[in-house]
Amino acid sequence: MALVPYAEGWGLQGLRSPWATFRFAGRTLRLRQDWQRLGVAAVVWDAAVVLCAYLEMGSVDLRDRAVIELGAGTGLLGIVATLLGKDKLLYHLGARVTITDREAALEFLESNVQANLPSELHPRAVVKELTWGKDLDNFPPGSFDFIFGADIIYLEETFGELLQTLEHLCSEQTVILLSCRIRYERDNNFLKMLKGHFSVYEVYYDSNKDIHIYKAQRHSHKDDF
């Protein structure tokens, strides 16, 4: 079932286009979109683009790191993380990226990942089902260095499951990066919930797109990155 709670960012025309094209990590990425069939799970949102640009600035070293993306949708962010996390000479030292979404979006997500990564990087990017709060036994607790999420804070009924998922996936060293536009008071309510379990602060703001990037870690690592 398609979930369509909002339509902002680059407008309905862009959302309904069958393709979205971007330039990241020295490559042209062409993402298939399918708004009519999958709604928000199958279009590229501004928050994903801004977080990709933030990663491309070199603020985070992804080489030889374990990364998971939640609510990946089209896969843009996970694809860029895989490309930026590669070692230029030794691909086996590249980032290990797990790109997740609900079962209904997986075939679509997999097609974008396969089409936009060079074949030698395909083993470094795994598409996997993750419904927040329900599939956690399939993911070893605390096994990721980074958790990324772009525009995944919008349905209040999922906040508890999202927080449960973050807690399960995080070790003491895990860094969470959440990119979002604050649309409603409920979005701030999730940030308050998050602060009850993690140290949270803003690390970047794109004023043109009105997108915030928040970093979260367990409280004992407030000043570490």
121: number of Cβ within 10 Å: 19
3-state secondary structure at position 39 = strand
Mean pLDDT of 125-131: 97
- Give CA angle at 28 (26, 29), nearest 5°: 120
Q: In the structure encoding, which two tokens stand for residue 184, read together?
A: 């409603």
Q: Does the pLDDT at position 210 exceed 80? A: yes
- Region for 64 from its dihedrals, namely left if φ exceeds 0, alpha if ψ lies in -120 to 50, beta otherwise: left
Determine, yes or no, domain membership for 34. Answer: no
Query: What's the mean pLDDT when you consider all of the chain?
Result: 89
Does a structural domain hold residue 97? yes
pLDDT of 87-122, one tens digit each? 877 777 889 999 999 999 999 999 999 999 999 999
pLDDT tier at 184 (50, 70, 90 boundaries)?
Answer: confident
Report if residue 148 sits inside a domain.
Answer: yes
* pLDDT at res. 38: 75
Q: For residues 25 and 95, what is the distance between their CA atoms, to the nearest angstrom?
A: 14
Averaged pLDDT for residues 120-149:
95
- Residue among 163, 143, 140 at smallest CA distance from 152: 163
What would the mean pLDDT of 6-31 be, rounded to a whole number? 75
Using pLDDT thresholds of 50, 70 and 90, give the confidence band for residue 1: very low
In a domain, 86, yes or no: yes
Query: Residue 28 domain-assigned?
Result: no
State both tokens at 48: 């994903």
Q: What is the mean pLDDT of residues 172-186?
A: 94
Q: Which amino acid is at 166?
A: L
56 in a structural domain: no
Give the count of domains, the chain. Answer: 1
Q: Which domain holds residue 186?
A: 62-218
Angle between helices 159-169 and 185-195 (to 10 degrees): 30
Using the structure block, give the residue that is written with the tokens 């990241």. Answer: 24
Least confident of 141-150, 160-169, 216-225: 216-225
Instruction: Give yes or no for a contact between 41 and 72, defined as CB atoms under 8 angstroms apart.
Output: no
In the block, tokens 């020295």 appear at 26
| Rounded CA separation 167/99 (Å) | 18
pLDDT of 25 strictly over 50: yes
Q: What is the pLDDT of residues 45-57, one digit of tens each?
A: 999 999 999 999 9
Whether pLDDT at 6 is above 50 = no
The single-letter code of the amino acid at 131 is T
Q: Which two tokens stand for residue 25?
A: 């990590």
Percent residues over pLDDT 90 in the chain = 77
- Residue 169 belongs to domain with CATH number: 3.40.50.150
pLDDT of residue 147: 98
The answer on pLDDT for 7 being more than 70 is no
Q: What are phi and psi of 206, to 5 degrees?
A: -100, 105
Look at residue 117 and give its three-state secondary structure. Answer: coil
Q: Is residue 9 part of a domain?
A: no
Checking if the pLDDT of 85 tops 80, the result is yes
- The whole-model pTM stands at 0.90
Cα–Cα distances in angstroms (integers) from residue 128 to residues 91, 184, 198, in the given order = 21, 30, 26
Residue 187 falls inside a structural domain: yes
Strand residue runs (E) in the chain: 19-24, 27-32, 66-70, 96-101, 125-129, 146-150, 175-180, 198-206, 211-218
User: For residue 170, what pLDDT band results from cuts at 50, 70 and 90?
Assistant: very high
pLDDT tens profile 33-84: 988 887 777 899 999 999 999 999 998 999 999 999 999 999 999 999 999 9
- Measured CA to CA, the distance from residue 93 to residue 206 in angstroms comes to 31
